[in-house]
């Protein structure tokens, strides 16, 4: 049955409204053995290569810093103060702390929905009170730190909303006989030949580097892990049609995927430069994006399951991110 244009316009308008609502909550040798060497006159046996000593798994204290992708916005049970941080009791930091068998006294989750890097250094106001500066949870005794930040600095949720709005305008134009563009959102952020989003990601990178320096200064003995963002969209935009319809142009879906890749690449580069470990969550989340079936997806689509936040991890997503982080911590 052919699609009509009007449902497409309605769906696009709904997408923009839902994304705005969802953001208002806050927010990866062999060689010759010694016998051979000893058989040659005048040569001493080569020293055996020592077996590397495994790095012990940190036991705490553990401090988790981050935004809504860390906090587990709207995933039950919601715990902690302030309530406006929308922090879940089964977010990936809580799951990692449980897997490491850390007692409550050895674990602090101060992540908060909507957080930017500046909210790690200063109090963050929320609808349910003020979240103290997240970095204040650190101390010289801290031995494990995880941080998931940068997406809000780059304005990624705002970009998703803008893309929905741009495609809405584009769809409305088709109603009056104008030809639709191929990628209205990409065109919006590339006007004048300037890649506005790349500039935002680069600027966010400077702030992430400063945060990592602050963490190292406050907790010099801690092992630090920067957790990347999971895949929001599939490699093939066509697979999103059953979920998104023709709400967003395929070229714009590809554009959004490209920008998320740039964001994660920035986080990896900044983590490595600071001596931290980058935890990739894109690989493990492949096939679990927002366009996957309800039983498979880790990221909720613009029309999420009841009570969950659009374009954010659900409980399975938090479990998947916890698994990727634990693999790195125990590696």
- DSSP conformation class of 43: -
Active-site option among 68, 88, 113, 219:
68
99 burial class (0-12, 13-18, 19+ CB within 10 angstroms)?
middle
Decide: 84 and 127 in contact? Cβ < 8 Å: yes
Q: Is 285 among the residues known to form the active site?
A: no
Residue 319 CB-half CA count within 13 A: 7
Active-site option among 111, 113, 188, 312:
312
CA neighbor of 297 nearest in space, from 307, 278, 311, 276:
311
Both tokens assigned to 52: 């590397």
List CB contacts of 323: < 8 A, sequence separation 6 or more.
284
CA neighbor of 219 nearest in space, from 156, 325, 145, 283:
145
CA neighbor of 110 nearest in space, from 74, 69, 67:
67
Q: Is 188 among the residues known to form the active site?
A: no
Q: Taken in order 266, 125, 312, 3, is the CA torsion positive or negative?
A: negative
Residues annotated catalytic, as ranges = 68, 312
């Amino acid at each position: 049955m052919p699609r009509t244009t009007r449902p497409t316009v309605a769906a696009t308008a709904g997408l923009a409204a839902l994304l705005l609502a969802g953001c208002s909550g806050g927010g990866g040798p062999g060689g010759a053995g010694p016998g051979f060497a000893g058989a040659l006159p005048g040569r001493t046996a080569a020293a055996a290569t020592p077996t590397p000593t495994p790095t012990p798994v940190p036991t705490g204290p553990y401090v988790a810093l981050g935004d809504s992708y860390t906090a587990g916005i709207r995933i039950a049970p919601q715990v902690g103060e302030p309530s406006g941080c929308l922090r879940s009791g089964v977010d990936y930091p809580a799951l990692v702390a449980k897997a490491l068998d850390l007692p409550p006294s050895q674990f602090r989750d101060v992540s908060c929905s909507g957080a930017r890097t500046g909210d790690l250094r200063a109090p963050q106001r929320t609808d349910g009170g003020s979240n103290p500066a997240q970095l204040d949870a650190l101390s010289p005794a801290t031995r494990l730190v995880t941080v998931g930040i940068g997406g809000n600095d780059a304005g990624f949720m705002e970009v998703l909303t803008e893309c929905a709005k741009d495609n809405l305008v584009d769809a409305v134009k088709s109603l009056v006989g104008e030809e639709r563009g191929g990628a209205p959102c990409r065109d919006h952020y590339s006007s004048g030949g300037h890649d506005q989003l790349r500039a935002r990601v680069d600027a966010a990178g400077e702030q992430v580097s400063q945060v990592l320096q602050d963490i190292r200064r406050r907790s010099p003995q801690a092992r630090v892990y920067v957790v990347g963002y999971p895949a929001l969209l599939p490699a093939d935009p066509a697979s999103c049609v059953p979920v998104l319809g023709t709400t967003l142009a395929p070229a714009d879906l590809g554009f959004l995927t490209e920008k998320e890749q740039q964001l994660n690449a920035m986080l990896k580069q900044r983590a490595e430069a600071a001596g931290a470990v980058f935890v990739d969550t894109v690989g493990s989340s492949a096939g679990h994006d927002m366009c996957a079936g309800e039983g498979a997806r880790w990221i909720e689509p613009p029309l999420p399951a009841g009570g969950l936040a659009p374009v954010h991890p659900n409980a399975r997503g938090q479990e998947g991110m916890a698994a990727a982080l634990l693999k790195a911590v125990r590696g």
